[in-house]
A and B are shown apart, each in its own frame.
Chain A
Amino acid sequence: MAEVAAFQRTTSPSVVEPAGRGSRHRLRTRLVEVAFIVPAVVYLVLFFGYPVVKNVVMGFQEYTTKTFYTGEAPWVGLENYRNVLGNAIFDRSLLNTLLFTAGSIAGQFVLGLAIALFFHKRFALSGVLRSLILLPWLIPMIAGTAVWRWILDTDNGALNRILSAVPGLDVHPDWLTSTSLALVAVIGVNIWLGIPFNMTILYGGLQEIPEELYEAGALDGATGWRAFRHITWPMLRPVVTVVLVLGVVYTLKVLDVILGLTNGGPANSTQTISTFSYDMSFRQFDFGAGAALGNVLIVISLVFAVVYLRLNRKAVDE
């Protein structure tokens, strides 16, 4: 971000505006400018614009398996929205989406920050350990969830075996099969998955803070917690907002973790808007309803995207 700001300064219009050249030349430069933008615009329109617009349109259509062959998708107005918003599962999945996102973000961020701070202090083997933290990122999610299902299994799972080995503790929590625990378990796995992202970005942010600040702070008696509160945290704030906002947008749409662990169950206790949308589209073949749910998710994400852009702009302006 700092680079972007610097770039803007050196290329302010007054410096670059060429003085009085032929209009043909100007036209040509204009064309070249446009040509440079065209690939990016085509790419964006094709791969981002088209699907989003299509999804919005589909939300107002009766789009079923039939549509694929006949091409006919009758307009139904707001019926898809009435259907999905009136569905008993919707309230539950909206609440779950919020709980899942808030819980995941809180856990990922706090643990990610703690680990980043831990590794910020240089010590032997820190490089090796730091790369180990990245492991969750390297494992295909579907394999990760299979392993977690095994760990969290009630009867034979590793976690419950460890718990039962603790003297005086005789519990066998139904991690993935009780309606009250499944969401907690799913959030837990998603936190595990999100830690590398949070740690990496926050660690990068910590590296940016000049060492002199801490030296100067130490002279004034700011060490330990006080150094964190008065130096680290304020200096890290721009990175923190980026991590949080991106984290929210990524987490809102999480699908594979939930499908792999619980499939939205038991009894819809881990159903989120994205799993509900998947279910509508690809299990019940009601693509219109699935798209309507997708659009609800887009709107929620948009709110955070706007927040992100505003904060980002402010950070650049500063």
Chain B
Amino acid sequence: MARHSIRRGTSGRTRAGLAALLVLPLALGACGGGAKGGSAAGSSSDTLRVLDYYNSEPNASLWNEAIEACGKTVGMKISREAVPGETLIQKVLQQSSSRTLPDVLMLDNPDVQQIAASGALAPLDDLGVDSSGVAEGVLKASTYEGKLYGLQPVTNTIALFYNKKLLDAAGVTPPATWDELKAAAAKLTSGDQYGFAMSNVNTYEGTWQFLPFMWSNGGDEKDIATPQVAAALQLDKDLLTSGSMSQSSVNWTQADVADQFAAGKAAMMINGPWNFGTLDEAEGLEYGIVPIPVPQAGGKAVSPFGGEAWTVPQTGDEAKQKKAAELVQCLNSDENEVKISLGTGTVPTKPALAGQVTSQNPNLTAFADQVPELRARTGELGPDWPKAATKIYTAVQNALVGGMTPEEALKQAQDG
């Protein structure tokens, strides 16, 4: 149709308009090129580009301070970019395909091996980085095929938070074993108040919350169709079917769980120190923190650890990679670990420093105590971890609300 109408006449004006149209994309392209040139100019030889996702307080300014100070120490200018957490991996993948990775890159610790396996990261050992004093489990998360790719200054994990007033009123002491947990949760459940809350959501958050139960009972992510994991899942299911835990936990993120706890609708919860801010805002809330209950008295709680590691991508500029490694080393100095721990409610990855932190913030004790025992999510499976994590949360959901027994759910998940 359009063909015929054009044939009617192509006046000079049309042609001029057409020419303008044809030039437009070129002009736009030129703009794009210009912008790119600008950013390239920013990464001159005396500037280190840093990428992380610390974009909210207190993390944003604390890290900014530390990075700037370390930049001075190593004699480089800093050009730092902080992106929203969920977009970091996407950005890293884009940058690695266009070879525009920054000089220093922060990664969530379970992602380090995934990115290291792609070849985008430089081994820190080769760049002379010293990792002595850091807890074994933490190093394991950043090690891929025998080489260390990231250094993580601070970490966090999860523990059992309890509402002091509610426990006192019910005459309940914080539980230390699974049986005590069930009994305490049942006693603390009344009206619209649940005794216990945790996140059983169908994302990695749910897996992360289930891991301490599974691991403390001898379960292993290589094969989850075992009686050890089934017993842990049975505990989770008992808490739900007895009514001590809301069925909504299958839809709750950890932030939702913290809201329930802060509102007094849950007497105990599994959560982490990043909620201190939320909990402090709740008026009249007094809480205590103990390690996650273990299967039998005297057992050890084995928990996963969170937090981010600093890595040095392969940029091809060796001199700069050396400088980048120095910056990473500086961020992991004893002084910085303590400072950042206290500022952000995390704990140092060097167990020797724990005392300096817990003496100033006793709330962190339950977390710091666990550091030597902490287990890396990617310690065993490395880049295959996401698949295993998916199996775990799928099994949890199938057992809790999908009408399966823990054994059935785990077997089905393991077989895929």
A interface vs B, CB < 8 Å?
Answer: 7-8, 11, 13, 16-18, 28-29, 32-33, 35-39, 42, 64-71, 87-88, 149, 153-156, 174, 176-179, 262-269, 279, 282-285
A265-B396 Cα distance, complex, nearest whole Å: 11
- Mark B366-402 against chain A: 1 for CB-CB distance below 8 A, else 0: 0000000000000000010011001000100110111
Comparing B38-46, B110-118, B292-300, the segment that makes contact with chain A is B110-118
A16-B90 Cα distance, complex, nearest whole Å: 53
Once A18-B7, A36-B18, A155-B246 are accepted as A-B contacts, the answer to whether A65 and B97 lie under 8 Å apart by CB is no
B265 within 8 A of A: yes
B13 within 8 A of A: no
B316 within 8 A of A: no
Q: Does B1 lie within 8 Å of A68, measured CB to CB? A: no
A11-B2 Cα distance, complex, nearest whole Å: 9
Q: Does A263 lie within 8 Å of B97, measured CB to CB? A: no
Comparing B50-58, B200-208, B227-235, B331-339, the segment that makes contact with chain A is B200-208
A269-B402 Cα distance, complex, nearest whole Å: 8
Comparing B144-152, B247-255, B270-278, B349-357, the segment that makes contact with chain A is B247-255
A264-B394 Cα distance, complex, nearest whole Å: 11
Q: Does B15 lie within 8 Å of A70, measured CB to CB? A: no
Q: A29-B10, A66-B117 are in contact. List 9 more A-B contacts (CB 8 A).
A: A36-B2, A36-B6, A65-B115, A65-B383, A68-B93, A156-B265, A263-B203, A268-B402, A284-B386
- Tell me, rounded to whole Å, the shortest Cβ–Cβ distance linking B343 to chain A: 30
Once A263-B202, A265-B251 are accepted as A-B contacts, the answer to whether A39 and B117 lie under 8 Å apart by CB is no
Once A36-B6, A155-B192, A265-B397 are accepted as A-B contacts, the answer to whether A69 and B97 lie under 8 Å apart by CB is yes
Q: Does A11 lie within 8 Å of B96, measured CB to CB? A: no
B390 partner residues in chain A, CB cutoff 8 A: 279, 283-284
**A70 touches which one: B25, B118, B394, B416 (CB < 8 A)?**
B118
Task: Specify which of A33, A68, A176, A266 lies most central, judged by the most chain B CB atoms within 10 Å of its CB.
Answer: A266
Q: Does A88 lie within 8 Å of B119, measured CB to CB? A: no
Q: Does B397 lie within 8 Å of A268, measured CB to CB? A: yes
6 shortest interchain CB distances as A-B pairs = A267-B402, A265-B202, A267-B397, A69-B96, A69-B118, A66-B118
A156 partner residues in chain B, CB cutoff 8 A: 192, 265
Q: Does B416 lie within 8 Å of A266, measured CB to CB? A: no
- Tell me, rounded to whole Å, the shortest Cβ–Cβ distance linking A38 to chain B: 8
B22 partner residues in chain A, CB cutoff 8 A: 35, 38-39
Q: State which residues 71-110 of B face A: CB under 8 Å.
A: 90, 93-94, 96-97
B397 partner residues in chain A, CB cutoff 8 A: 265-268
**B204 touches which one: A7, A11, A283, A285 (CB < 8 A)?**
A283
- Tell me, rounded to whole Å, the shortest Cβ–Cβ distance linking A272 to chain B: 14
- Tell me, rounded to whole Å, the shortest Cβ–Cβ distance linking A85 to chain B: 13
Q: Does A16 lie within 8 Å of B394, measured CB to CB? A: no
- Tell me, rounded to whole Å, the shortest Cβ–Cβ distance linking B102 to chain A: 14
Q: Does A267 lie within 8 Å of B6, measured CB to CB? A: no
Q: Does A68 lie within 8 Å of B97, measured CB to CB? A: yes
A71-B118 Cα distance, complex, nearest whole Å: 10
A88-B391 Cα distance, complex, nearest whole Å: 12
Once A69-B96, A70-B118 are accepted as A-B contacts, the answer to whether A16 and B1 lie under 8 Å apart by CB is no
- Tell me, rounded to whole Å, the shortest Cβ–Cβ distance linking A4 to chain B: 8
Once A66-B118, A68-B96, A88-B412 are accepted as A-B contacts, the answer to whether A11 and B250 lie under 8 Å apart by CB is no
Q: Does A266 lie within 8 Å of B401, measured CB to CB? A: yes
B37 within 8 A of A: no
A64 partner residues in chain B, CB cutoff 8 A: 118
Q: Does B119 lie within 8 Å of A11, measured CB to CB? A: no
Once A16-B7, A155-B192 are accepted as A-B contacts, the answer to whether A178 and B18 lie under 8 Å apart by CB is no
- Tell me, rounded to whole Å, the shortest Cβ–Cβ distance linking A305 to chain B: 21
A-B contact pairs, 12 of them (CB 8 A): A28-B10, A33-B7, A36-B18, A39-B25, A42-B25, A68-B96, A87-B416, A155-B192, A179-B402, A265-B201, A267-B400, A268-B402
B8 within 8 A of A: yes
Q: Does A154 lie within 8 Å of B246, measured CB to CB? A: yes
Closest to B390 in A: A284
A283-B89 Cα distance, complex, nearest whole Å: 10
A265 partner residues in chain B, CB cutoff 8 A: 201-202, 250-251, 397
- Tell me, rounded to whole Å, the shortest Cβ–Cβ distance linking A70 to chain B: 6
- Tell me, rounded to whole Å, the shortest Cβ–Cβ distance linking A61 to chain B: 14
A88 partner residues in chain B, CB cutoff 8 A: 412, 416
- Tell me, rounded to whole Å, the shortest Cβ–Cβ distance linking B98 to chain A: 9
B403 within 8 A of A: yes
A29 partner residues in chain B, CB cutoff 8 A: 6-7, 10
Q: Does A8 lie within 8 Å of B394, measured CB to CB? A: no
B132 within 8 A of A: no
- Tell me, rounded to whole Å, the shortest Cβ–Cβ distance linking B342 to chain A: 33
Once A11-B1, A66-B118, A154-B246 are accepted as A-B contacts, the answer to whether A264 and B401 lie under 8 Å apart by CB is no
- Tell me, rounded to whole Å, the shortest Cβ–Cβ distance linking A194 to chain B: 23
A65 partner residues in chain B, CB cutoff 8 A: 93, 114-115, 117-118, 383
Once A7-B1, A264-B202, A285-B386 are accepted as A-B contacts, the answer to whether A68 and B118 lie under 8 Å apart by CB is yes
Q: Does B18 lie within 8 Å of A267, measured CB to CB? A: no
B93 partner residues in chain A, CB cutoff 8 A: 65, 68
**B10 touches which one: A32, A42, A176, A177 (CB < 8 A)?**
A32
B36 within 8 A of A: no
Q: Does B251 lie within 8 Å of A39, measured CB to CB? A: no
Q: Does B201 lie within 8 Å of A263, measured CB to CB? A: yes
Closest to A284 in B: B386
A279-B387 Cα distance, complex, nearest whole Å: 11
- Mark B1-33 against chain A: 1 for CB-CB distance below 8 A, else 0: 111111110100001001001100100000000
A70-B192 Cα distance, complex, nearest whole Å: 55
B204 partner residues in chain A, CB cutoff 8 A: 283
A149 partner residues in chain B, CB cutoff 8 A: 251
Q: Does B118 lie within 8 Å of A153, measured CB to CB? A: no
B257 within 8 A of A: no
- Tell me, rounded to whole Å, the shortest Cβ–Cβ distance linking A205 to chain B: 24
B5 partner residues in chain A, CB cutoff 8 A: 11, 16
Closest to A267 in B: B402
- Tell me, rounded to whole Å, the shortest Cβ–Cβ distance linking B232 to chain A: 18
B120 within 8 A of A: yes
A6-B10 Cα distance, complex, nearest whole Å: 23
A153-B263 Cα distance, complex, nearest whole Å: 15
**B251 touches which one: A7, A32, A262 (CB < 8 A)?**
A262
Q: Does B96 lie within 8 Å of A155, measured CB to CB? A: no
A11 partner residues in chain B, CB cutoff 8 A: 1, 4-5
Q: Does A283 lie within 8 Å of B251, measured CB to CB? A: no
Task: Specify which of A68, A87, A154 lies most central, judged by the most chain B CB atoms within 10 Å of its CB.
Answer: A68
